[in-house]
Amino acid sequence: MPQNGRALIVKELGGPFTLEDVIVDDIQSGEALVRIEASGICRTDLHCAAGHRPVQTPAVFGHEGAGTVLQVGKNVTAVQPGDKVLLSYSICRVCKQCSSGNRAYCEKILALNFSGKREDGSSPMTLPDGQALFSNFFGQSSFSSLAVVNETSLVKVPSDTPLDLFASLGCSMETGIGAIFNTLDIQQGSTVAVFGVGSLGLYAIMACKLRQAREIIAVDIQPSRLELAKELGATAAINSSEGDVAEQIRTICGTNGVERALDCSGVARIIETMIDSLGTRGKACSVGSNAPGTRISIDVHKHFVRGTQYVGSHQGDSDPQKMAPLLLKEHSLGKLPLHKVTKTYGVDDFQRALDDVESGKTVKAVLTW
């Protein structure tokens, strides 16, 4: 039987979020019904709601969910009712990328995560009047008290997992940390610059410290974020509004540039500065979300003479099934201070949470249901 729930709905692109009643459909084969207990707010949710991505309305977003499994559909073997779960992105499991262990690059990634519907064209969520909602976002649409979740989006975790702290595993946490662990493969003694220290960047700073990088340089325009970055492990902080950033990085590193760099902003001119800050055989990576069609300019001669690399990284090249237990272990050892970047808000206080994210007052806002 379909069930009643509440969800944050965007009725028109650029319009406000409203908390309303919804009808949640029966689960199908390969799906689970999850009672959402915590939902991280990610910039991607806000970009989609503003119309900066090809989505439709009325819509329910949310892709950093965490909660308890209530029901499982046919052929679901990864979880059972009562299990605590974190929710991440959805994949097909069978394409070349999935089969080769590169699940973040599933060939159906856009259709499965951004189409707003199941593969059969149905919507797992409707308004009380029967109007279908753009949902199934990242296989979950977790801005809701109940979510129909694709099995491939489910990550089972121990029952004592602090779901509010780990909800953001599903996107920003595994992206920021994964880019450091996987894409850039930071090693002990490396020099690293992180451009943009919002939630993505601060998770990356934590990861750099875990990998014992020699220089961890935080770059941002907000002094408070730079101070927090230093508290979390940054060895140097650069306010990008003050002077030549690339030159300051070269001075700190004592070489012709930094060995590894990560952009979490998605801003073209910042990405160009990041690439310019690289030293010989340096590698730069982008994880910051930007609008389709965004382009940058590169000094090709300098690029090939120095042998530098610039790559993109989706979800930090992470497999959430492997990332979750690793991060849970580091947290249990006191090496992953997630509480320093996380603030929880009751769902009825969602507007304050959204405002605090937009203003930068809160780094990672998590809604509790």
Where are the domain boundaries for CATH 3.90.180.10 in the chain?
Answer: 3-170+337-368
Q: Contact, 58 vs 11, CB < 8 A? A: yes
- How far apart CA 116 and CA 185 sit, in angstroms, is 34
DSSP 3-state of 253: helix
- pLDDT number for residue 198: 95
- How many CA atoms does the CB half-sphere of 87 hold within 13 Å? 35
Q: Contact, 72 vs 32, CB < 8 A? A: yes
Q: Contact, 182 vs 101, CB < 8 A? A: no
**Cβ-based neighbours of 353, under 8 Å, separated by 6 or more:** 41, 345, 362, 365, 367
| Peptide linkage before 325 cis (omega within 30 of 0) | no
Q: Please tell me the pTM assigned to this model.
A: 0.96
- pLDDT number for residue 292: 80
Alpha helix locations (H) across 131-257? 163-166, 172-178, 199-210, 223-232, 245-253
Average pLDDT of the chain is: 96
The answer to whether residue 288 scores a pLDDT higher than 90 is no
CATH code assigned to 176-314: 3.40.50.720
- Which residues make beta-bridge pairs with 284? 261, 310
- pLDDT number for residue 21: 98
| Residue 186 C-alpha from the chain's centroid | 19
Binned at pLDDT 50, 70 and 90, residue 293 comes out as confident
Tokens for 342, please give them: 């996380």
Where are the domain boundaries for CATH 3.40.50.720 in the chain?
Answer: 176-314
Q: Please state which CATH class domain 3-170+337-368 belongs to.
A: alpha beta
- pLDDT number for residue 196: 97
Look at the block and give the residue holding tokens 């990332």: 323
Q: Which amino acid is at 164?
A: D
- How many CA atoms does the CB half-sphere of 227 hold within 13 Å? 3
pLDDT tens profile 1-25: 889 999 999 999 999 999 999 999 9
pLDDT tens profile 196-247: 999 999 999 999 999 999 999 999 999 999 999 999 999 999 999 999 999 9
Q: Which among 237, 240, 165 is positioned nearest to 203, based on CA atoms?
A: 165
- How far apart CA 332 and CA 83 sit, in angstroms, is 20
- How far apart CA 228 and CA 340 sit, in angstroms, is 8
- How far apart CA 278 and CA 192 sit, in angstroms, is 10
- pLDDT number for residue 274: 98
